[in-house]
Amino acid sequence: MAASHENDSEMDCSDNEDCYEDYNDYYKDEDSDVEHVDPKKTDPEYFEYKCLSEEEVERLLNETVENLSNHLRISLPLAKVLLHSHSWNSIEVIRKYEENPQQTLISARIDPPCPPKNVIFSPTHLTCSVCVTLHHVDRFFHLSCSHMFCKDCWTMHFEVQINQGISTAISCMARDCVVLAPEDFVLKHLQHKTIIREKYQHFTFQDYVKSHPELRFCPGPNCSIIIYSKDIKAKRAFCDQCKTIFCFRCGCDYHAPTDCQVIKKWLTKCADDSETANYISAHTKDCPKCHICIEKNGGCNHMQCYKCKHDFCWMCLGDWKSHGSEYYECSRYRENPNIAHESVHAQAREALKKYLHYYERWENHSKSLKLEEQTLEKLRARINQKVMSGLGTWIDWQYLFTAANLLAKCRYTLQYTYPFAYYMDAGPRKELFEYQQAQLEAEIENLSWKIERAETTDRGDLENQMDIAEKRRTTLLKDFLDV
Amino acid sequence: MANIAAQRIKREFKEVIRSEEVAKCAIKVELVDNNYTELKGEIAGPPDTPYEGGNFVLEIKVPETYPFNPPKVRFITKIWHPNISSVTGAICLDILKDQWAAAMTLRTVLLSLQALLAAAEPDDPQDAVVARQYKENLEMFKLTARHWTNAYAGGPSVNPECDDKIKRLVDMGIEEHQARVALSSYNWDLERATEQLFS
Ligand SMILES: [Zn+2]
Ligand SMILES: [Zn+2]
Ligand SMILES: [Zn+2]
Ligand SMILES: [Zn+2]
Ligand SMILES: [Zn+2]
Ligand SMILES: [Zn+2]
């Protein structure tokens, strides 16, 4: 579990909100009883990370920018653009820059591909081609490409782009010019526009974090925490602030033993097959690259993600560039589902049957998790009564909450074994998996049964059952969690 | 901002009117209202294409944020082209989306659309059915596009065989345009088009 959670001392069940949330403590206690072992080897879900605030992340990014700027002797805004375009990999930027600075600046869209023509004549007034107004040359500004536009037009250009959520990707206003406007240039033109400036800084920050593989926004509602880890894998991240648990790599609900692509596929399948998700699948889809939600608001099926600029097909979500030859597959399937022959029909029925088998179990465990949460609430009320009438203290009953939290954790993993199995190829490995899955399922149901009858179950018996269930869970993860 | 939009459109309107393309009757714009927010464009089908001899009317809506955002353009005249929807007239063209630049003008747009008619990009389709036909059966595509140009854009090339097949469907109670769409989609195979229409 997370090395960075040091909130054991805060565990006190008289303050019962906290102990309810944290599953991690169960293992901590256990670990300290046994001989000292390296959690990296024994815990298949071990993950080293930190929960950072926006300010801390800003500091971290600025440090990286400053170091690069000093190392390459380039300006800070330039260093920032270079880092952003290279996924914040300083070593890569330095290598490329030292090898060929000119090409590096061109591919980061800081410099134009062809050097701008020298303007020999220098008139006192120019007509801005955007607002078609004659201005004094003093009012004109340009990027490295030398395309001149008046100050007001730059300001308006930035305002319009920022209001559409674009920030690090704002380019020059000239036709076919790919040069990007660096942060200092944009801010210079938004001097007295506090609100839009703030918006811009908010969006650039979002872009920077999203382009940084070691940073991930906590997906919790209204949570501003950013998880930082050097271990860029589908690991279980737990937010200190809002207690959300999620996968560090994809930012979605944690999904071990299933991997990020498979769980995405599974969830999409479940959504597509459910009546209630009709609106979602009809009008919005996730960008296949950065997974941000895209709303379709035009007739064209060639979509471009407003965030990462990835081009994809609305129908099949395939990469647009490699789409040419595959387009027929793409449109034929959706538009002509009745083309099937008899045998294909039978196959489809079989496929549906298989899907429903896994789906029903997946859905069932999800419901169980919710029901068990209610059980825990009732248990809490009953224990509260006991404590009030002098039957022990909260600390005496703490093991019950620990057990309930462990149950939730085990069932959660069990739920996610179903999509894993659904997409697994038949063979001995699948047989082994399904065997272990069945074992885990059995022990989980045993544990659940005992917790429901907690007050009459022997504490030692319950703790023994907890041990077995958790061992089954870690065994399965050790054998099948591939991160 | 709306002020710049109007200022620019006034200027561009003149630019188009004075352009050599207008002299050659290749492009045209007209105002639809007096506040320069909606215009009617027209482009001539380029020579040596199935659209030759046709006149294609465009709806041009100027957003308040013009020219910082592109104009919204669609074909009013029905057209058979891989990058233009045969149903809605929606256009798939990069400069009308993310490749738009504030320094571009209506003239750029109209000329780009004309260029699109001369050189379709079937790998970047708007209309999947048309794009498929274009890639699988180019001659059939040309025939169909020419027929649509004749039927909707005043093109000169009459195809009696097409007209005859449409008439037969119309006689069965199918609306003319619907008949044309079905036949066009099934490579003018009357049997399959009929089957689709009555299924
Ligand atoms: Zn200007
Ligand atoms: Zn430029
Ligand atoms: Zn959080
Ligand atoms: Zn993931
Ligand atoms: Zn597709
Ligand atoms: Zn069962």
Phi-psi region of A392 (alpha: psi -120 to 50; beta: other; left: phi over 0): left
Taking alpha carbons only, the member of A209, A208, A146, A157 closest to residue A186 is: A157
The token duo for B94 is 């990069």
Do both A93 and A137 map to the same domain? no
Query: B168 lies in a domain?
Result: yes
Distance separating the N- and C-terminal Cα atoms of chain A:
15
Predicted pLDDT at B161:
94
Predicted pLDDT at A331:
32
> Does residue A285 or residue B132 have the better pLDDT?
B132
Instruction: Round the average pLDDT of chain B to a whole number and report it.
Output: 91
Do both A445 and A365 map to the same domain? yes
Query: B123 lies in a domain?
Result: no
Calculate mean pLDDT across residues B73-96.
Answer: 94
Calculate mean pLDDT across residues B12-22.
Answer: 79
Query: B96 lies in a domain?
Result: yes
Do both A433 and A348 map to the same domain? yes
Inter-chain touch A174–B103, beta carbons under 8 Å: yes
Please count the residue pairs, one from chain A and one from chain B, whose beta carbons lie less than 8 angstroms apart.
79
A133-136 vs A125-128, strand pairing mode: antiparallel
Do both A96 and A131 map to the same domain? no
Split into its structural domains, chain B has a count of: 2
Do both B139 and B62 map to the same domain? no
Question: What's the number of CA atoms in the CB half-sphere (13 Å) around residue A415?
Answer: 20
Do both B47 and B76 map to the same domain? yes
Query: A136 lies in a domain?
Result: yes
Do both B68 and B37 map to the same domain? yes
Split into its structural domains, chain A has a count of: 3
Taking alpha carbons only, the member of B110, B100, B148, B144 closest to residue B30 is: B110
> Does residue A348 or residue B110 have the better pLDDT?
B110
Query: A369 lies in a domain?
Result: yes
Proximal ligand: closest to the CA of A445: 6
Phi-psi region of A246 (alpha: psi -120 to 50; beta: other; left: phi over 0): beta
Look up the CATH number of the domain holding residue B19. Answer: 3.10.110.10
Last residue within a domain, chosen from A72, A107, A142: A107
Helix ranges restricted to H, A108-258: 151-163, 183-188, 194-211
A311-313 vs A302-304, strand pairing mode: antiparallel
Q: Which residues in chain B are contacts of A327 at CB distance < 8 A?
A: 123, 125, 128, 131-132
Do both A455 and A368 map to the same domain? yes
ipTM for this model = 0.86
Do both B172 and B137 map to the same domain? yes
Cα→Cα distances B122→A174, A368, B81, B84, B138, Å: 28, 51, 9, 10, 11
The token duo for A324 is 């040419």
Do both B110 and B155 map to the same domain? no
Nearest to B65 among A160, A328, A335 (CB): A160
Do both B133 and B85 map to the same domain? no
In sequence order, the 6+-apart residues with CB closer than 8 A to the CB of A410 are A440, A443, A444, A447, A469, A470, A472, A473
Cα→Cα distances B16→A293, A296, B21, B71, Å: 40, 33, 8, 15
The neighbourhood of ligand 2, an ion, using CB within 5 A, equals: A 145, 147, 172, 174, 177, 179
> Hey, which residues does A180 pair with through a beta bridge?
A171
Predicted pLDDT at A316:
64
Tally Cβ neighbours within 10 Å of residue A15. Answer: 11
Do both B11 and B106 map to the same domain? yes
Predicted pLDDT at A244:
93
> Hey, which residues does A50 pair with through a beta bridge?
A228
Do both B19 and B49 map to the same domain? yes
Do both A369 and A459 map to the same domain? yes
Query: B22 lies in a domain?
Result: yes
Do both A330 and A376 map to the same domain? yes
Digitized pLDDT (tens) for each residue of chain A, 483 residues in all: 444 444 444 334 444 444 444 444 444 444 445 456 777 778 889 999 999 999 999 999 999 999 999 999 999 999 999 999 999 999 999 999 999 999 999 999 999 998 887 766 678 999 999 999 999 999 999 999 999 999 999 999 999 999 999 999 999 999 989 999 999 999 999 998 999 999 999 999 999 999 999 999 999 999 999 999 999 999 999 999 999 999 999 999 999 999 999 999 999 888 777 643 333 334 567 788 888 877 755 434 567 787 888 887 665 677 867 654 433 333 332 333 443 444 566 666 667 767 777 887 788 778 778 888 887 888 888 888 888 888 888 888 888 889 989 999 998 999 999 899 889 887 889 888 888 888 888 888 778 878 877 777 788 899 999 999 999 999 999 999 887
Predicted pLDDT at B56:
97
Report the distance separating Cα A434 and Cα A417, nearest Å: 9
Active centre residues of B (catalytic): 92
Domain enclosing residue A293, as ranges: 17-22+258-480
Tell me the Cα Rg of chain A: 28
Taking alpha carbons only, the member of A469, A446, A467 closest to residue A457 is: A446
Taking alpha carbons only, the member of A121, A168, A116, A162 closest to residue A142 is: A116
In sequence order, the 6+-apart residues with CB closer than 8 A to the CB of B74 are B58, B59, B88, B89, B90, B91
What would the pLDDT profile of B96-109 be if each residue is shown by its tens digit? 988 999 999 999 99
DSSP string of A20-37? HH--HHHHHHHHHHSPP-
Do both B16 and B74 map to the same domain? yes
The amino acid at A446 = N
Do both A101 and A146 map to the same domain? no
Report the distance separating Cα B85 and Cα B93, nearest Å: 12
Last residue within a domain, chosen from A194, A217, A248: A194
Do both A124 and A103 map to the same domain? no
Nearest to A157 among B68, B99, B131 (CB): B68
Do both A177 and A288 map to the same domain? no
In terms of CA atoms, which chain B residue is nearest residue A306?
B98
Look up the CATH number of the domain holding residue A147. Answer: 3.30.40.10
Last residue within a domain, chosen from A158, A173, A194: A194
Q: How far is CA A382 from the centre of its chain?
A: 39
The DSSP letter of residue B60 is: E
Predicted pLDDT at A336:
36
Proximal ligand: closest to the CA of A444: 6
Do both B111 and B137 map to the same domain? no
- Residue B160, min C-alpha distance to chain A (Å): 31
Report the distance separating Cα A22 and Cα A41, nearest Å: 22
Do both B107 and B147 map to the same domain? no
Calculate mean pLDDT across residues B47-59.
Answer: 96
Taking alpha carbons only, the member of A248, A312, A263 closest to residue A271 is: A263
Q: How far is CA A146 from the centre of its chain?
A: 39
Calculate mean pLDDT across residues B144-162.
Answer: 95
Domain enclosing residue B110, as ranges: 3-118
Predicted pLDDT at B63:
94
Query: B21 lies in a domain?
Result: yes
- Residue A344, min C-alpha distance to chain B (Å): 21
Query: B54 lies in a domain?
Result: yes
Distance separating the N- and C-terminal Cα atoms of chain B:
52
Burial B26-43 (b: 16+ CB within 10 A, else e): bbbbeeeeeebbebebbb
Last residue within a domain, chosen from B83, B99, B118: B118
